[in-house]
Amino acid sequence: MQKNLVSLAVFGAFMALGSQAAMAAPDWNKAAKSTIHVFHPGAAPIEWLQGKGEHSGASGLKKGEACAGCHVEDGKLSLDLKRLASKEMEPKGAPKTMTYPVTVQAAYDATNLYVRLTFKAPGGGFDHSDKDNELKASVMFPSDKVPLADQAGCWAACHKDARTMPGAADTKTKYVSAGSMDLMQWKSSGGGKAVDGTVSDKRNMENGKAGVAAEATKAGDTYTVTFTRKLAGGVNLAPGKAVPFGIAIHADNAGGRFHHVSFGHTLGLGADGDVKAAKQ
């Protein structure tokens, strides 16, 4: 049985973009495809990544090395998934599917960036706390002032005292100590909604400046989520340059840290990057 969940972005997001920009669409047949693998990180905040004796790559991070440099080999993940699924790393319970691929495409024009994610959303999650959303898909762009942004991507916003982390209060969201991140999200509730948010000293799920719009389709267990955002808005994206970004997907009604995330990757706008966006 094939379902179609076509969600034009929330009206406010379309108004922010302007009708002409919101309705623009690239030719995805001309956009290169890249595969990025997302994985369940467990209760591993940025502090754990930097901790000597806990994470063997801590010394590499201190030297300026990127997480993906050690953990992505020939486009595939190199991770100790058994450890990530253990009670040490995930005390509440890991999902049955620890990692899966996401096909990423991107394009841009004089005004906007377009990002398309295609993936099979797995079931078998431990946490189902978001009763309203079967799925949430997010893409984050950190500014160059965010510590470790070019090494860890959006992981720089994940801290041990944030909500749903073991022993943490339920009052603190993801945050960064300097700079900010643009957060664009599509969530499935209400037939589909777009989120234009930011992460700075706290996470704000509205009032972003990127003019985010989003739509999604679902065929069987495969989602295709397409985002549109302004180049000049929030974290400015300049043609001819590569920018860091990260992906997070909450499947099977998962909430909080029970998502699958990517390492930090780069998106090149008419430039080299893990994902290459061609001008259309």
In the block, residue with structure tokens 């008419």: 270
Q: Long-range contacts of range 223-226, CB-CB < 8 Å, 24 or more positions apart?
A: 223/117, 223/118, 223/119, 223/120, 223/121, 223/135, 223/137, 224/116, 224/117, 224/118, 225/116, 225/117, 225/118, 225/137, 225/186, 226/25, 226/114, 226/115, 226/116, 226/117
Q: Which of 226, 35, 9, 25 is nearest to 139 (CA)?
A: 226
Reading the chain (280 residues) residue by residue, the pLDDT tens digits are 444 444 433 333 333 333 334 446 899 999 999 999 999 999 999 999 998 778 888 899 999 999 999 999 988 899 999 999 999 999 999 999 999 999 999 999 999 999 999 999 999 999 999 999 999 999 999 999 999 999 998 899 999 999 999 999 999 999 999 999 999 999 999 999 999 999 999 999 999 999 999 999 999 989 999 999 999 989 999 999 999 999 999 999 999 999 999 999 999 999 999 999 999 9
Which tokens go with 263?
A: 């390492």
CATH code of the domain occupying 11-279: 2.60.40.1190
Cα–Cα distances in angstroms (integers) from residue 182 to residues 58, 82, 226, in the given order: 26, 32, 16
Q: Identify residue 31 by its one-letter amino acid code.
A: A
The Cα 78–Cα 67 span in angstroms is: 11
Q: What is the pTM of this model?
A: 0.90
Give the DSSP letter of residue 252: T
